Amino acid sequence: MDEKQQKITVYVMQSIFSVIGTIGNSLVLYIYLRKKDKSTSSIFILALAGADFFTCLVIVPFNIVTLYLDYKHGYDLMCRLYMFLITGGVPFATLIMVAIAFDRYFCICHPFLHVITIFRAKLIILILLSFAGILGIMVALMYGINDIISDPSSQSNNSCYSNTSSSYQQVTCNSTIYNANMSSNLSDDLINHSYGMCSPNYDIFNEDFVLLFSKIHAVLYLLMFIFVVVLYSLIYREIHVRRARKAKRKRSSLYPSQSCAPEASLGDTHMTLMPGPMSDGNADEPTKNGHSSKRRKIGATLKEKQFYANIRTAAMLFIVTIVFLVAFLPALLMTQELISYNIVIFYTYFVYNTANPVIYSFMNQSFRIELKNMYSKMCNGSRKH
């Protein structure tokens, strides 16, 4: 597949992501916003769906236009706006993943602490959004419109992406790296200036700071991935321990000790032989004990149901996290020059913004029921008209 075919593939792929993601995430927002009894997981899902909806509606089309223009925005404002949206949106989604992992950890492993409430969940989202915005602004200020020197023998419609991870200002075109600070003694016949290219510059921050920031940015992603893996590992361990305890209780209830049985029958005999007043006085005791034991059983059953509901939610959000990691990892490795650049594989990370509604549909029964109800109302409304 040549470069032109690769770019056409990316245009088609991202157009599909944009349409499906916009529709899917709008459905998620509609259903979860209408929920009356919102939980912390619902709040985080809403934040994630909002970020995905904005990405599919605004950022993906902006990215298609940018690729078509070969990063030649022509204006600093458009260049920096693009970098802000690209480098602010992805970190926000990653930070939400970490927050979801913490929420599920405390909900399953420490349910009585009530560490993350609905108010705190909203506050956490606001803080994460501000932090992601700061990261986006920092990266946007490291980019601008520059004159990029490129090899005239290369194709005029090269696919380029900027990279600040090396010690030199670089723009990668068609998997070939051209330094922006090429020697000026090259002959005019061998040099072609591409004006209006959006690429790293050092007008605001010096080269050392840009290099340091890019390394910190990469380490931040690594730390977030580690946090997510550790937290879900602890959740799995807690689920395994609780299931083992439950199995042990079931085994012990199936084989009661023989010393308890005679005592129970003896107690029944004594109660039958009691005189009238005594029996009347104690007649309510079995009933009271029965009611209290029933209440305990109902409470235990509710706790059990809540625990397994939390497990199902955690499993669904874990799959969401795995899809994000798998989709985003190749692009992260390419920006750090650990693997060779491929434009089609690089931009597949946008599939994550489209996949979440599909995951909810398969793994969330209440979401499926709400979708069916909404479809039924739409069909009934269309029949009336």
pLDDT digits (tens, 9 = 90+) for 234-283: 888 888 888 788 777 777 766 554 444 444 443 443 444 444 444 444 44
pLDDT digits (tens, 9 = 90+) for 272-320: 444 444 444 444 445 555 555 555 555 556 566 666 666 777 788 788 8
The pTM is what? 0.72
- Contact 349/331 with Cβ under 8 angstroms? yes
DSSP string, 16-61: HHHHHHHHHHHHHHHHHHT-SS--HHHHHHHHHHHHHHHIIIIIHH
Q: Give strand pairing partners of 173.
A: 160, 176
Domain architecture of the chain: domains with CATH: 3-239+300-384 (1.20.1070.10)
Structure tokens at 317: 């959000």
Structure tokens at 224: 């977030």
176-179 and 192-200 strand pairing: unpaired
- Contact 232/101 with Cβ under 8 angstroms? yes
Residue 77, helix vs strand vs coil = helix
Structure tokens at 338: 């650990």
Q: Which long-range contacts (CB under 8 A, 24 or more apart) does 333-336 make?
A: 335/163, 335/165, 335/218, 336/165, 336/218
Q: How far apart are CA 90 and CA 186, in angstroms?
A: 40
pLDDT digits (tens, 9 = 90+) for 149-196: 544 444 444 444 444 333 333 344 333 333 333 333 444 443 444 567
